[in-house]
A and B are shown apart, each in its own frame.
Chain A
Amino acid sequence: MPRRLLLQLLSALALGGLAPPGWAAPRFEDSIAQRVLACTGCHGAQGRAGPDGFYPRIAGKPAGYLYNQLLNFRDGRRHYPLMTHLVAPLTDAYLLEMATHFSALDLPYPAPAANPPADLAARGEMLVHRGDPARGVPACVSCHGAQMTGVAPAIPGLLGLPRDYLNGQFGAWRTGKRRAHAPDCMREVAVRMNLADINAVSSWLAAQPVPVPAKAAPVLPGPLPLPCGGIGQGGPP
């Protein structure tokens, strides 16, 4: 992406409150950034709170993860009508190009949330790093990477996201509103956890600073604790 366009994009986004949300006004340029202004209008550069929920950050997430989410919205495994409408007329190849574009962006992350109460933080930290063997809940880091920045190509990072968004995703997984390719390991994890533990994990995660650089780890720290679909499907179709 041309640096000039990126700078224009960022400076437009910095005006946040005044400009329409996330809407950059670069001069027309035939680029992938120009073609996907339909995405950044809502998601902004770092994710953005909207009247009907939180539009998560897409910049810098693993390409395979982003691509899988686009397919999930198109094919009815995730449900948000505006997303489904946008991606419905697009081919796999174009969706992959969009995912790769956003994956390559390297933008700063927002400051983490304030620390939760000590006992909640301790419980959350323990679950993230060690899981809950009694319930068969694996440690978050065993899939999402020791630094929790995800694992290429298809496992997302867990940092830089608000607590409410994380809680929302857990809820959606538990009710079946959000799904992934079968076998849906994250649904399995979400239904094994209780609500107090979900809150502890999301509260602790939201309070962690994002390491620099925040790139996804190249390989998993060990074997996957649960069978997961879509992990090998992040590459070109």
Chain B
Amino acid sequence: MMKYLSTIFILLACPAVATVDIVGSVEAKCVIQTTKSGVYGNPIASKLSTTPADGGVLPVIRYDVSIADAYTANITHPTSFSSSPTLSDTVAWTGSTSVTQTSVAGMSAYEAAKTVVDNTTIFDLTLAGSTWFSTASSAVYGSAKPFSGGTYTASVVATCIPK
């Protein structure tokens, strides 16, 4: 009798212990963030430019990737206006995209490893984390003619493509 009672007391004295696992997984995900919209400056009558020295503002795009080596970032600088006053002459476009800030030191290698195809710059996102890119864009009106008054808009296309 005493043996049974002592067993019951021991069981009552022991706290119930259970382990509950918390399981989570991070799936491949790419988020494109427009950190800053670009603005065209008009340093001379025939030129529109996002370069700060020309009075413009460079658009800044941030890519967040959750998994390393799962995406490429393709950023295309403009070669036409998406809206503008009527233009009677050709416009000469130039542009480029660069890495401006990174969350992981190793991402600074993206700049040297980038490839440029026509007006698209391709970055291989080999590390997880955030990378900031800025795109310079310049438009010069044909034969140094002045751009007519009005609003000019051009699009930088930022694409995130899974490998």
The yes or no verdict on A and B being binding partners is: no
